[in-house]
Structure 1
Amino acid sequence: MTTTATGTVDLPGGRVLTWAETDWDDPRAAALRAAMDGEIAPRYAALRQGSPPPAPPSGEDVAVVVLALVDGAPAATGTLRRLPDRWEVKRLLVDADHRRLGLAGRVLARLEDAARDRGADELFLQTGNRQPEAIALYEREGWERIEVFAPYDPADGISVCFRKALRAEP
């Protein structure tokens, strides 16, 4: 596990937000992802009817995991994944006890910066149609809806995909 601290921010109520960039195997980020699975899986159980969800990222295709710590506790995470033909945001989650602090938008912005730093001109993501809070976040942050892209199945009716230009388009 590699962790790089990337600064602190004061939050309301005297809380302190500390940023870290780490890797897929970081146990703090893994715990947040497990909480996400526990929260999201029931929303899709009836739609999936036993078929598995898309494969998660692996340590090999993950460029960076952003981790937000509030007073030292894991509060939010997001992942930047490199696919053969694109950069993709994956596994963005804010812990239930740390919501309404603006962390989701901040994590997303850090992932966008990480993609720019790696030479990406655009960034993609996929969420599900039963995650209205995620869809609202992406729309609010300037992401545009696009057609469902591989490896997601447009026929399953679940995926909602987005794209964001990271550099000014002519």
Structure 2
Amino acid sequence: MTESLTWERTTWGDPRAEVLLAAMDAEISPRYAALRGTAAPPAPPSGEDVDHVLLALVDGVPAATGTLRRLPDRWEVKRLFIAAAHRRRGLAGAVLERLEASARELGAQEVYLQTGNRQPEAIALYERTGWERVEVYSPYDPTDGISICFRKPLTAAVPR
């Protein structure tokens, strides 16, 4: 049986994306609890700074999400997450490609992202898909020993 994959651009607060983001928090937060101690994690995106939320739906069920956030001086990919049942199918790379295309449409020449040092699968994805490590940028703390930041130049889309 073939699964049906559809893409939907939505907004912050979409309950389908919130289910995925809650799963992300439940999976990722424990990795950093000992490192952070009592320090607060970086502030999450909000409806005011997120341009859009991308959802991948497999047979109508939310399978993956990612957001494009506007910082004062750059566009940033945030909250990229693939539901456990849908991993190893290329969805993470597809979400990234679509977010990069959206940033390009918004006039961005480059896009950034931040991840943590306890997410080797995310780091491997970014390096494999052409992202380059850069210095930790604001609003992240370069002294926290956790943040790893990346940048990707955006080239013109190739006509299909």
TM-score range, shorter chain: over 0.9
Residue 105 of structure 1, aligned match among 58, 74, 93: 93
Is 1:58 matched up with 2:72? Answer: no
Q: What RMSD in Å do the two structures reach over aligned CA positions?
A: 0.8
State the 1:144 CA deviation. Answer: 0.2
Whether 2:87 is the aligned partner of 1:137: answer no
Partner SS for 1:150: coil
> Following TM superposition, by how much is the alpha carbon of 1:50 offset from its aligned partner in structure 2, in angstroms?
1.7
TM-score by length of 2: 0.96
Q: Secondary structure at the match of 1:21?
A: strand
In structure 2, C-alpha distance between the alignment counterparts of 1:51 and 1:134, rounded to whole Å = 23
Task: Report the equivalent of 1:27.
Answer: 15
Q: Secondary structure at the match of 1:154?
A: coil
SS of 1:155's partner is coil
How far has the Cα of 1:167 moved from its partner?
A: 2.4
> Which residue does 2:83 correspond to in 1?
95
Q: Which runs of 4+ in 1 moved over 4 A?
A: none
1:127 aligns with 2:99: no
* Corresponding letter in the other structure for 2:133: R
In 2: Cα distance, 1:25 partner to 1:154 partner: 29
Q: Distance in 2 between matches of 1:167 and 1:104?
A: 20
| Amino acid paired to 2:103 | A
Partner of 2:105: 117
Q: Which runs of 5+ in 1 are unaligned?
A: 1-12
Q: Distance in 2 between matches of 1:131 and 1:27?
A: 25
The 2-side partners of 1:30 and 1:53 are apart by 18
Q: Following the alignment from structure 1 to structure 2, what is the Cα–Cα distance between the partners of residues 84 and 149?
A: 12
Provide the residue aligned with 1:16 in structure 2.
4
Deviation, 1:78, is: 0.1
5+ unaligned residues in a row in structure 2: which ranges?
none
SS in 1 for 2:69: strand
Higher relative contact order (Cα pairs below 8 Å, separated by 6+ residues): 2
Please list the CA deviations of residues 38-93 of structure 1 after superposition, one character each: whole Å capped at 9, or x if unmatched. Answer: 00000000000021110001101111111000011000000000011000000000
**Structure 2: distance between partners of 1:96 and 1:167:** 31
